[in-house]
Chains A and B, each alone.
Chain A
């Protein structure tokens, strides 16, 4: 007897408001959709922060607190959580503790538990640190001077 197909996972996607000029919304949608398909899922709703809520994540926070019946949230890139001086690890932990998966399409990084967050902490912390350290230097652009 043929097995019933596994139901698709459902995700809310959150585009990167600060990166629209470099990667326009339609392209961010394509990247996210392709990544979500590889997770066995589909995007059922999308949103993005206002330019003034990019650091506080109030738009996404509102969605989390609505307790939507979805598997998780997919962001375009981890830099959406580089809030000024430090990566907003606490916010990511909060989403995971609410039972939601958190994924990042550009980096293909997936967090399903708080333990996953602890595991990726070194690379996320280091990437954020290096961005601050190397910004403005020629080698950070990697083009001939």
Chain B
């Protein structure tokens, strides 16, 4: 599943993971952390646990606490960026090349049925760089309103033109909702989309909770946006040539020629 030509024409595409074991391993670790956060209650199987998470009936504040704890755990312990780079290696290699900067902190969204707390329709670039690809990884099967919607490249451009010409955000949102397509993204796959694509989500009216991660990758040497390299990204892959280049550059600074 997944075609680079389609990504090129519409600005997004769903790709199946190449290393399902990496995705399963990541989900299992997130499941264990989440289950611990709710006192060990809930189903013993990750998909069932995540899908039925709303049955814990957490307050918004407690839900956010759980979410932030898991995000912190991901950042400190799970090396999500590298694991997903391995999980979707050839897709990412084709999109951003071998010299890769990845977002340091992964984002986690928990969208329970009926939850109207959701991010407004938007596009990441600008102010982020247009040279970023967002990897949207569901931890459960996502479909219809349990998923996200996205506009293709021509419609995203039209939406951007609307805003540039002074049309209201309300008009823009109405346009986006009319053109947006709910994505069916089964677990084990991810939606890859360019940062300029307009996207959002509807209120989840399915009877299952959506859990999804999103993380950004870009070519290390491509232009950065408001989120700079040093504050928001880390280098997770270098080509052999770039490694040699950095070794020689490092030598110019009176350092040992070979990095540890």
Cβ-defined contact, B229 with A127, below 8 A: yes
**How many chain B residues have a CB neighbour from A under 8 Å?**
32
What is the chain A residue whose CB lies nearest that of B233?
A123
Q: Give the chain A neighbours of B103 by CB distance below 8 A.
A: none
How many of chain A's residues have a CB under 8 angstroms from any CB in B?
29
A119 to B260, CA, bound (A): 7
Is A8 positioned at the interface, with any CB of B under 8 Å from its CB? no
Residues B223 and A130 in contact, CB atoms below 8 Å apart? yes
Out of B125, B221, B238, which one reaches A130, CB within 8 Å?
B221
- What 1/0 mask marks residues of chain B from 144 to 187 whose CB sits below 8 Å from any chain A CB? 00000000000000000001100000000000000000000000
| Tally of contacts, chain A with chain B, CB under 8 A | 78
User: What residues of chain B lie closer than 8 Å to A117, measured between beta carbons?
Assistant: 255
In the complex, A103 has a CB within 8 A of chain B: no
Query: What 1/0 flags go to A92-114 for Cβ under 8 Å of B?
Result: 01000000000000111100001
Residues of A with C-beta under 8 A to B235: 122-123, 126
A139 close to B130 (CB less than 8 A) = yes
Residue A48 interfacial (CB < 8 Å)? no
B250 touches A118 (CB 8 A): yes
Additional 16 contacts, C-beta under 8 A, given A89-B254, A118-B250, A126-B221: A90-B253, A90-B254, A121-B246, A121-B255, A121-B259, A122-B235, A122-B238, A125-B246, A127-B228, A130-B223, A130-B229, A139-B129, A139-B225, A140-B223, A140-B224, A143-B127
- A interface residue numbers (CB < 8 A to B): 78, 86, 89-90, 93, 106-109, 114-115, 117-119, 121-127, 130, 134, 137, 139-140, 142-144
